[in-house]
Amino acid sequence: MPGVVLVNPHSGPDETSPSDIAAEFPGSRIQEVEGKAVRRQVEDAIERAQNPEFVAVAGGDGTIRCAAGVVAGTDLPLLPIPAGTRNHFARELGIPTLADAGRASSGQIRCIDVGEVNGEVFVNNANIGIYPRIVEERKVHQKRFSKQTATLVATWQQVKTLHKFTVTVDGRDRYRAWMVFVGNGRYGSSLLDLADRESLDGGILDVRIMRADGKLARLRVVLSLLLGRVEESPMTVFDQVSSIELGFTKPRVDVALDGEIMPMSTPLRFRCRAKALKVLVPDADPEDGTR
């Protein structure tokens, strides 16, 4: 299958070698992309390739997000190559290594959902507030503590130093909050469970709000995490919807789209584009039935 393979050589902790990638994709056009104009470079590469069979992207989730925004809603399948820091999207599609990506180039097409906010596509999640900082801080503390304790320490460190904001949901419910998370697909049951998604084709957005209103809000949030009762706590709001509008008191807010910060005008209008993205994944292993 000849395709176009776009490589961000500076993604992840190690530089990605175009030569290693070319060895896994013989006959495909290899092109480097970098900088902030990734979307335009993806569009230009696809046009020059003249009807490629697929577009593969070697980079982090942010780079892959830009490519997904170009091909979502078309018949051109996307193949994510894990070359970033975390590679959540590629791993959840059964592509944890470069070799797996090479196998996927002759694999099968799967249709999955993408999230969209104010016209910008995301493949993992969009969040406002302290969410990204909690997850990154937790990773540092997990070197010394259990996951639960690391979550507690990371949350407390962030909650005690950052500012609250007001968010209005669909023009009705208003909250003071420290963070809002909107996931593409159904994630795990806990507030900070981002390791695995239960579904990528269920047609839903996974919405989570950490509230900051009421007396002793900081202490109540931390205690709910410590006691493992986040889902039962009135300080957290969970919802699963196909679309949602979030209003803020400021005309613009910073939104982390798949890990990259983007200032966006408010309100933020989210929707799930059900099965809008075609992706290439490895064929099932005949011995164990997995991909």
Q: What is the pLDDT along the chain (291 residues), one digit of tens a residue?
A: 589 999 987 776 566 677 888 899 998 989 888 767 888 999 998 888 888 999 999 988 889 999 999 999 999 999 999 987 778 899 999 999 999 999 999 999 999 999 999 999 999 999 898 765 666 677 788 788 876 677 777 777 766 666 789 999 999 999 998 889 899 998 876 655 555 688 899 999 999 888 887 665 666 565 555 554 455 555 678 899 999 999 999 999 989 899 788 899 999 999 999 999 999 999 976 455 555
Q: Do 129 and 227 sit in the same domain of this protein?
A: yes
What pLDDT score was predicted for residue 271? 98
Q: Do 197 and 263 sit in the same domain of this protein?
A: yes
CATH of the domain at 71: 3.40.50.10330
CATH of the domain at 260: 2.60.200.40
259 domain-assigned: yes
Question: How would DSSP label each residue in the chain?
Answer: ---EEEE-TT-SSS---HHHHHHHSTTSEEEE--SS-HHHHHHHHHHHHSS-S-EEEEE-HHHHHHHHHHHTTSSPPEEEEE-SSS-HHHHHTT--SHHHHHHHTTSEEEEEEEEEETTEEESSEEEEESHHHHHHHHHHHTTTS-HHHHHHHHHHHHHTTSPPEEEEETTTEEEEEEEEEEEESEE-SSTT--S-EEESSSS-EEEEEEE--STTHHHHHHHHHHTT-GGG-TTEEEEEESEEEEEESSSEEEEEETTEEEEEESSEEEEEEEEEEEEEEPPPPTTTS--
285 domain-assigned: no
What pLDDT score was predicted for residue 260? 84
Q: Do 74 and 136 sit in the same domain of this protein?
A: no
Number of domains, the chain: 2
What pLDDT score was predicted for residue 121? 97
Domain interval for residue 46? 4-106
111 domain-assigned: no
119 domain-assigned: no
What pLDDT score was predicted for residue 179? 83
What pLDDT score was predicted for residue 198? 83
Q: Do 257 and 145 sit in the same domain of this protein?
A: yes
What pTM was computed for the model?
Answer: 0.83
Q: Do 83 and 148 sit in the same domain of this protein?
A: no
What pLDDT score was predicted for residue 164? 84
What pLDDT score was predicted for residue 190? 60
Domain boundary residue among 54, 75, 106? 106
78 domain-assigned: yes
